[in-house]
Amino acid sequence: MFTYSDLRAQDPAVFSALQGEMKRQAEGVELIASENYVSPAVMETMGTVFNNKYSEGYPGKRYYAGQEFTDQVETLAIERAKQLFRCGHANVQPHAGCPANVAMYFALLEPGDCVLGMDLSHGGHLSHGHPVTYLTKIFRFVRYGMKDIETGEIDYDAMRAMAKKEKPKILLGGFSAYPRELDYAKMKAIADEVGAITVMDMAHIAGLIAGGALKNPFDYGFDVVTTTTHKTLRGPRGGMILSKDAEIGKKIDKSVFPGFQGGPIMQMIAAKAVAFGEALRPEFKEYAAQIIRNSKHLAQYLMERGAKLITNGTDNHLMLVDCIQSWGIAGGEVETVLDSVGITLNKNSIPNDQRKPMDPSGVRLGTPAITTRGMKERDMEILADFILATIERRSDAAALKNLGAEVKAFCLKFPVPGIKA
């Protein structure tokens, strides 16, 4: 456990906010599908003197002197990432997932080139070419989506037709709100037909792939995989770009630095090495499998009690609930009332949503963080009962107060790593 004694003495205002956040995390349920709790060792590494070093370049080829130990930790992170995901090259310097995707596009495309990616309203991500991003000023994004929202099956025939018509240079997989698995073999075959590079943004499911609970796109011949390191992979906040071979890796490295970034954040790279070391251990396989068992159990339990889930279930760590169909209220209202009892999730658009993005019909929830705390299937039922009771009694202030106390008592049985309750 950390004492933060220097911070406490020097800056009471920041310490007080930190104390509040630690209490919030310990006493509440974290169901935001992209969040997790890192181990004390990863947390410790993020606060080390590696912060003090400038290390532009790559191990063995830096611009400044004094890189003996930064080279050691970056090499460890690279080698562990390659081993974890069975690929030939890893760049561990991207500061986050969006910068990783931007560097990837510029490494592989020329201005005006086309990318065929997942429909954003079917679960795709902003960095896959949402019109609000500057990416769309430079590259042309076209879309594939689900054939059937009831099953979540991707329309691979439409994907093939679109690929033949638009001749994309990249066929892009990946999502932040899609509860099913992609058929990488079919995607690779379509890409090969039109000469496209295959890229998977596995940010949400990296830990599930690392733990062997979901398929690895590299096993199906994918060329490049981008990711964040802090979601299911349970590492520090950051990004990473993996490639199947050193040839593509060279282009990626040039694009990350000096193309887009300056000095890498070395304490985070050291923490990535620690997190990847954890993910290589046998117990991480069990963690990944339990995330999915919890997710499927929670999904089933909620559906049996009237919740309408997009695709009627889940194959991964997340589920998307249509709140209008389930309970006759919008996602934002569900988010707010659950937050009031200590259950955190996020409002989310659903496919073909009739409502605006800031006031959508759905909520997204996921099990990576609660699984890290040690919750199992029976606990999913308790959580679902809290969720359903909170929504049902949303106008009853006294009931909400009692529910908040019950949620807190329940959570305190599952310590958050590194936080003393």
Is the CB of 249 or the CB of 366 nearer to ligand DSN?
366
The residue at minimum Cβ distance from ligand DSN is: 34
Evaluate whether 318 touches 33 at the Cβ level (below 8 Å): yes
Rg (CA), the chain: 22
The DSSP element (H or E) to which 363 belongs, if any, is strand 362-366
Nearest to 360 by CA among 330, 404, 317, 401: 330
CA pair distance 311, 151, nearest whole angstrom = 4
Cβ neighbours of residue 75 closer than 8 Å, sequence gap 6 or more: 59
Cβ neighbours of residue 126 closer than 8 Å, sequence gap 6 or more: 98, 120, 132, 133
Token readout for 12 is 């009471």
Smallest distance from the beta carbon of 420 to ligand DSN, in angstroms?
A: 28
- In angstroms, how far apart are the furthest CA atoms of the chain? 64
The DSSP element (H or E) to which 269 belongs, if any, is helix 266-279
Is the CB of 347 or the CB of 394 nearer to ligand DSN?
347
Smallest distance from the beta carbon of 259 to ligand DSN, in angstroms?
A: 22
Is the CB of 70 or the CB of 346 nearer to ligand DSN?
346
Binding mask 86-125 for ligand DSN (x = CB under 6 A): -----------x----------------------------
Binding mask 49-88 for ligand DSN (x = CB under 6 A): ----------------------------------------
Is the CB of 34 or the CB of 372 nearer to ligand DSN?
34
Smallest distance from the beta carbon of 205 to ligand DSN, in angstroms?
A: 11
**314 touches ligand DSN by CB under 6 A:** no
Evaluate whether 28 touches 344 at the Cβ level (below 8 Å): yes
Smallest distance from the beta carbon of 71 to ligand DSN, in angstroms?
A: 31
Smallest distance from the beta carbon of 347 to ligand DSN, in angstroms?
A: 12
Q: Clarify whether 54 is annotated catalytic.
A: yes
Q: Clarify whether 188 is annotated catalytic.
A: no
Q: Clarify whether 183 is annotated catalytic.
A: no
Evaluate whether 214 touches 348 at the Cβ level (below 8 Å): no
Is the CB of 57 or the CB of 362 nearer to ligand DSN?
362
Site for ligand DSN in 17-36 (CB under 6 A): 34
Nearest to 419 by CA among 8, 16, 13, 19: 19
Smallest distance from the beta carbon of 34 to ligand DSN, in angstroms?
A: 3
Task: Extract the runs of DSSP E, i.e. beta strands, from 5-66.
Answer: 29-30, 57-58, 61-62
Q: SS3 of 176, please?
A: coil
Catalytic residue (one of 56, 113, 377, 385): 56
Is the CB of 57 or the CB of 239 nearer to ligand DSN?
239
Q: What is the DSSP letter of 415?
A: P
Token readout for 122 is 């079917």
Catalytic residue (one of 62, 160, 169, 231): 231
CA pair distance 347, 320, nearest whole angstrom = 9
Smallest distance from the beta carbon of 97 to ligand DSN, in angstroms?
A: 6
Is the CB of 231 or the CB of 297 nearer to ligand DSN?
231
**176 touches ligand DSN by CB under 6 A:** yes
Token readout for 36 is 């997790």
The DSSP element (H or E) to which 304 belongs, if any, is helix 282-304
**349 touches ligand DSN by CB under 6 A:** no
Q: What is the DSSP letter of 284?
A: H
Q: Clarify whether 56 is annotated catalytic.
A: yes
Q: How many residues bind ligand DSN (CB under 6 A)?
A: 3
Is the CB of 176 or the CB of 371 nearer to ligand DSN?
176
Q: What is the DSSP letter of 227?
A: E
Smallest distance from the beta carbon of 218 to ligand DSN, in angstroms?
A: 22
Q: Clarify whether 157 is annotated catalytic.
A: no
Catalytic residue (one of 53, 82, 237, 293): 237
CA pair distance 234, 373, nearest whole angstrom = 12
Residues marked as catalytic:
54, 56, 201, 228, 231, 237
Interface residues toward ligand DSN, by CB under 6 A: 34, 97, 176
